[in-house]
Amino acid sequence: MASPKQEAHWQATKRLMIITLVIWFFFSTVIFMFAHDLNNASFLGYKLGYYMTAQGSMLAFIILIFWSNNRQEKIDREFGFSDEDREED
């Protein structure tokens, strides 16, 4: 049986995972549905729809990876499951 500390850690991790997947879904699917409408604006001289499909989503994914990793590290430290806590045992 999992301890209350483990349950709380899992709930925080699950919440982060859901948020990350929603953001990923937005930038991998929703943005492309509106690419034609986004082409009315431009960014760095390119139509915004083109930019978001070619560069913007890739940049969003990279930022999402680092943000998610950083947030998971904070969750691990908060509940005592970080790598530093394991080395002390």
Average pLDDT over residues 41-67: 87
In a domain, 88, yes or no: no
Q: How big is the CA angle at 23 (ends 13 and 59), to the nearest 5 degrees?
A: 115
Name the residue with tokens 């699917």.
29
- Separation between Cα atoms, residue 79 and residue 9, nearest integer Å: 6
Number of domains in the chain: 1
Q: Is residue 9 part of a domain?
A: no
The answer to whether residue 89 is domain-embedded is no
Residue with tokens 């790598």: 83
16-46 pLDDT per residue, tens? 999 999 999 998 888 888 888 888 888 888 8
Query: Over 70: is that where the pLDDT of 86 sits?
Result: no
Residue 35 domain flag:
yes
The answer to the question of residue 10 being in a domain is no
| Alpha-carbon distances, residue 77 vs 4, 14, 22, 83 (angstroms) | 16, 16, 24, 8
How is residue 77 written in tokens? 């430290």
Residues linked to residue 42 through DSSP beta bridges, in sequence order: 47
Contacts of 46 (CB under 8 A, 6+ apart): 54
Structural domain for 52, as ranges: 15-74
80: in domain: no
- Is residue 84 in some structural domain? no
| 86 located within any domain | no
pTM here is 0.78
